[in-house]
Amino acid sequence: MSSIDSLEVSCPTIFVVIFCFLILHYLLTKKRYGRFFRNIPILRMLPGLLMKRHQIHDFTVKILEFSGLTFLFKGPPFAGMDMLLTADPDNIHHIMISNFSNYIKGSGLQEIFDVYGNGIFTTDSEMWKNQRKSIQAMLHHQEFQRFSTSTMTGKLKSGLVPLLNHFAEEGTSVDLQDVFGRLTFDTTLILITGSDPRSLSIEMHEDELAKALDDAGKGILSRHVKPRFLWKLQNLMGLGQEKMMSEANATFDRVCSKYISAKREEILLSTTNGEGEDLLTSFMKIDTTKYKLLNPNDEKFLRDTILAFIIAGRDTVAFTLSWFFWLLSENPQVVAKIRQEIIDNGQEDLDRLVYLQGALFEAMRLYPPVCFGRKSPIDSDVLPSGHKVDANSKIIICLYALGRMRAVWGKDALQFKPERWITESGGLKHEPSSKFLAFNTGPRTCLGKHLAITQLKMVAVEILQNYDVKAVKGQKIEPVLGFMLSMKHGLRVTVAKRCST
């Protein structure tokens, strides 16, 4: 064992964890909240968090269900772990809409997410406003929307269909989550840089950028559940997941620099009129007088922008599709209804596939691609729930728990029911965005919502029309402990071609 490995294994935190477990077993009671979190001296509620860290998503559901949708977690003094957890739509509306200007991402979040730089997801104030304004103009441009649709269509025909045909002919299982991740990674990179990494192939080779994104996601969640001084120390010494974060950061710098250099050379030699431009090209040509804080010549700005778009476009769609097809495998009657809707309405006009969209929304309600959000008040405030929040305190909005609260969604909150999204007249039922938060809400509502829904429907229609997909029996399906809600062990399925009718 190397000296670094030995140092990490002998880290004092191991003894702290053991000590916490012993205290927890001794102090837990069967009283209402005691069996979840006991506020003990010095360590306060940290032992309970450590005990349940591997089931943190479902544990948070229980905590918020019993505590009336909002719960104050207390960590050890000076550890910077105190946080208010909430799944209360009234609190969410207050934070994200009615008192939006008082609630920011905050320096604490930017520090935790430092590997992603100053992209739109980590910035506040004027920088955020200018980035959002420019991105909105690009995404909503008709030429880009056509470029997006043609890109997904091409990747389905040249990538997904041949791959699924291969596994159908071989009769072997495949990790569908991995397939979807490769599909959305390729399409997202094409839309951003114009280059196709071709990770979606029968060879299923590993892409270094995709791996770095996965490693960074694990490290970010680790920073959320560790005292700040601990992960800072590990970062300084290059240990554990902090070492992985540093390596991921180096990969981001190198790969993005390669794309930026290639794009600059391409623009110098290009004589096109800009139709169907990728986003990196659009940013390099941006009108700096209109968007004053954006500098198309700043390599770091372009690097951070590339990462922000990849994060938004890759995992959100891929993970939604994974949970969606797993839920379909458990509910064959829903599959039958979607296929009938496609027959009745055709696949050309995706807007007419209302039941399909309801089923996708239902999957996102139960398994939101981003499982929590973080906010920090500039000034102290009182939430609608009556909880007082201090300036610069930490508020965690629990999206996973929100979709499972019976107080919000009714007694059947844990059931997969696409019908809850359908009106009596057969239209799509509207739910307040502070209740269904998969696309965020208020001024930070997802700019790519329509684009994402279109991509989800295109993939779902292509597969459901042409293949029978069955989940392999006996596999363990559970969410990973991460910022993005992926499946911990993937989704093994078998694929069979459907007979054409």
Per-residue pLDDT of the chain (501 residues; tens, 9 = 90+): 443 333 334 444 554 554 455 444 434 433 444 455 666 665 656 666 666 666 788 888 998 999 999 998 887 777 677 889 999 999 999 999 999 999 998 777 888 889 998 887 788 777 888 888 888 888 988 899 999 999 999 999 999 999 999 999 999 999 999 999 999 999 999 999 999 999 999 988 889 999 998 889 888 878 877 778 889 999 999 998 899 999 999 999 999 999 999 999 998 887 555 556 899 998 888 877 777 656 767 889 899 999 999 988 888 999 999 999 999 999 999 999 999 999 999 878 899 999 999 999 999 999 999 998 989 999 999 999 999 999 999 999 999 999 999 999 999 999 999 999 999 999 999 999 999 999 999 999 999 999 999 999 999 999 999 999 999 999 999 998 777 899 999 999 999 999 865
Q: Collapsing DSSP states into helix, strand and coil, what is residue 295? A: coil
d(CA 344, CA 337): 10
pLDDT, residue 482, reads 73
pLDDT, residue 82, reads 85
Residue partners of 349: CB distance under 8 A and separation at least 6: none
At residue 140's C-alpha, the angle toward residues 134 and 142, to 5°, is: 125
**How many other C-beta atoms lie within 10 A of the C-beta of residue 261?**
11
pLDDT, residue 271, reads 56
DSSP state of 500: P
At residue 316's C-alpha, the angle toward residues 311 and 317, to 5°, is: 120
Nearest to 306 by CA among 124, 131, 482: 131
DSSP codes of every residue in 41-57: TTTBTHHHHHHTGGGHH
Contact call for residues 325 and 491 (beta carbons, < 8 A): yes
pLDDT, residue 38, reads 64
d(CA 312, CA 300): 18
Rg (CA), the chain: 23
> 15: buried, middle or exposed (CB in 10 Å: 19+, 13-18, 0-12)?
exposed
pLDDT, residue 26, reads 39
Nearest to 301 by CA among 123, 178, 151: 123
Contact call for residues 89 and 434 (beta carbons, < 8 A): yes
Domain ranges in the chain? 82-497
446 marked ligand binding residue: yes
CATH no. for 82-497: 1.10.630.10
Q: Collapsing DSSP states into helix, strand and coil, what is residue 398? A: strand
